A and B are shown apart, each in its own frame.
Chain A
């Protein structure tokens, strides 16, 4: 069966243990996690999680249902089903000496990255965007040496009216 990339948003109670339930669910059932991000929302009693995973339609359906089954999960929304925006933050520390200082700075500008720390031999560049843009930037940085790289994982949000919130009209939870 065809395996596609899916981005699943989860609204869950901001309680200790909730994250390990989600992580445990994925490992116990053999589902794949590419990235997972989580942080509290504007309502401090709720956390918002974004999971990027791959799987066939039936696997993704099971993931959604199994997530819904967790007692602390309030709502689940598969963003891949609708128009949405996704972003990831990357910080990359690169060697920047000699001619490379200008070259790397130019590359960062082309990708709308920002240099957020500078030493005599090093830049740290911050870049936000879709995963593919980050991947492309990493590819171009092969002109120099990458000393360290950190990516946040993907966060996503649906476009337009549909919203994943307590009162949102989408994806009513049923156990």
Chain B
């Protein structure tokens, strides 16, 4: 029996196992919306702005590992998703975006709500397709899902002209797909792995630095086996938090611009670095000329283009992080290699002396609410088991530092693109994936406004997330940079017309509480987290000028951190040591 393109599309989604799609209807997508109406297997979540759809699908994908699916109409429907698509692209998140397009015969005529969807999305998708013939539709959708969630994952857009969604064809969804031009390498080269094992075990001052690629590959167990087998220090990037448990003594914290003192000092001084699923971006390395000057680097990544892009690599290994880590452990056993225990002991002594500088310390006796304190208490109250989404800025860094993630896929944030407005819609996607779990969105008063309209979506679908608004009445990170580097000229970083967030939440049909006394923080969190069925907007009035420490200023090296005044007083005097 022949089906319309719209019905074929919905069948494809069903057969692909899609449970939720996030979207917003419009003219060019109406046949598709009609097909959705006539079935109940694929559930559509109606957002309030297409940016929210792409972030919600992204949040869903980050916690499940399955592609998030977005459905929008042509023109503004497409352009509104771009920020969310670029966010997913930068963090290698699988996503399939289906966009309606004006009818084929109008393409190129500047028709109503026409935009060159392939053209505007091209720089921020892994791939995109225009479906010209209904007979190609099912295969194209199959390819889109395959490309989105294999190799280095990423967003794929499928643009479908309206007439194609009305045309008829036989439905057949291919079970598998193979492409002569796309065959990701999964298995690492065994010779390179052997080389890596020998180099790694020859280290006197080793470090294992891992990123989001380990999460993507599901390689956390293999990583833990390797680190524990060797007793080597492990640090995670912002994107890799949770892959190695934050509470494990071998974990030395997050590294990079706002990483811990011990992680950054160890990165600087190490002699062998194993980097897995991380891409040496500028927020990690600081000044490349000062980066890890004594290190021989082993770099494992599924993307050959990530290897050797920013730093010179001794042993490159292209492959899936999980498979390569497993092979690495097996190779170490097979070759009966043992670490240099004496050197390792001295290295740990050094690391522990750096650790004694409490680089995440803050003033615990303040009469104002310290944002760090809110996050420490949030961690305690939720037993470290909540899914935490965030927006972008100071609150994001504090959440990364103070919510000690022990499992991957619990920490959901826009690491690469740094998209304000991400947290709330992403939390919706997370809740739909794990409706029984606690989902909190850690945000700030500037970020939350950027996608605040999604409170309405939360009302429609009873999405009981908890919003932790660290309200310092500033764009905090912008203000911090202006304090440090622009002589406190706070140019346009102050929000002097903020809404009453409690009233705002209530107007959307939710509840809100304002907390401005440190003594009330823990109690309010405990009360709120008990309310499993309600969305509660917690507006914490925090210390206005608190800064995120440590901080590596742009253009500085890992051993040139700004420390908080207290940590600075604890910093050991530099010692003459033989490193080269």
Contact = CB atoms under 8 A, between A and B. Distances in A.
Interface of A: 12-13, 17, 20-21, 24, 28, 58, 61-62, 65-66, 68-69, 71-74, 166, 173-175
19 contacts: A12-B181, A13-B181, A17-B130, A24-B122, A28-B123, A62-B305, A62-B309, A68-B305, A69-B303, A69-B305, A71-B147, A71-B179, A71-B181, A73-B181, A173-B183, A174-B304, A174-B318, A175-B152, A175-B304
Contacts of A61: 308
Contacts of A175: 151-152, 182-185, 303-304
A104 B122 CA distance: 48
B521 to A, nearest CB: 45
B127 interface: yes
Most buried by A among B118, B127, B305: B305
A24 B119 CA distance: 10
Contact of A71 (B182, B185, B305, B308): B182
Nearest to A21: B122
A17 B118 contact: yes
B126 interface: yes
Contacts of A174: 183-185, 304, 318
A12 B180 CA distance: 10
Given A69-B305, A175-B152, 13 more contacts: A17-B128, A24-B123, A62-B308, A68-B304, A68-B305, A69-B303, A71-B147, A72-B181, A74-B180, A174-B183, A174-B185, A175-B185, A175-B303
A20 B305 CA distance: 20
Most buried by B among A69, A74, A175: A175
Main secondary structure of the interface of B (DSSP, over half): mixed
Interface in B279-310: 303-305, 308-309
Contact of A65 (B122, B183, B185, B304): B304
A72 B122 CA distance: 13
Contacts of B185: 174-175
A71 B304 contact: no
Contacts of A28: 123
Interface in B394-438: none
A-B pairs with lowest CB-CB distance, top 4: A65-B305, A71-B127, A174-B185, A175-B184
Interface in B166-223: 179-185
Interface in B522-551: none
Contacts of A72: 181
B325 to A, nearest CB: 19
Contacts of A68: 304-305
A71 B127 CA distance: 7
Contacts of B119: 20
A69 B127 CA distance: 10
A66 B152 CA distance: 13
A13 B143 CA distance: 15
Interface string B96-127: 00000000000000000000001100110011
A72 B180 CA distance: 9
Contact of A20 (B122, B184, B303): B122
Contacts of A20: 119, 122
Contacts of B303: 69, 175
Contacts of B123: 24, 28
Nearest to B143: A71
A162 B184 CA distance: 24
A151 to B, nearest CB: 28
Nearest to B180: A74
Given A20-B122, A21-B122, A71-B147, A173 B305 contact: no
B129 to A, nearest CB: 9
Nearest to B304: A65
Given A20-B119, A66-B305, A71-B127, A173 B184 contact: no
Contacts of A13: 181
Given A21-B122, A24-B122, A74 B305 contact: no
B117 to A, nearest CB: 11
Nearest to A67: B305
Contacts of B152: 175
Interface string B134-152: 0000000000000100011
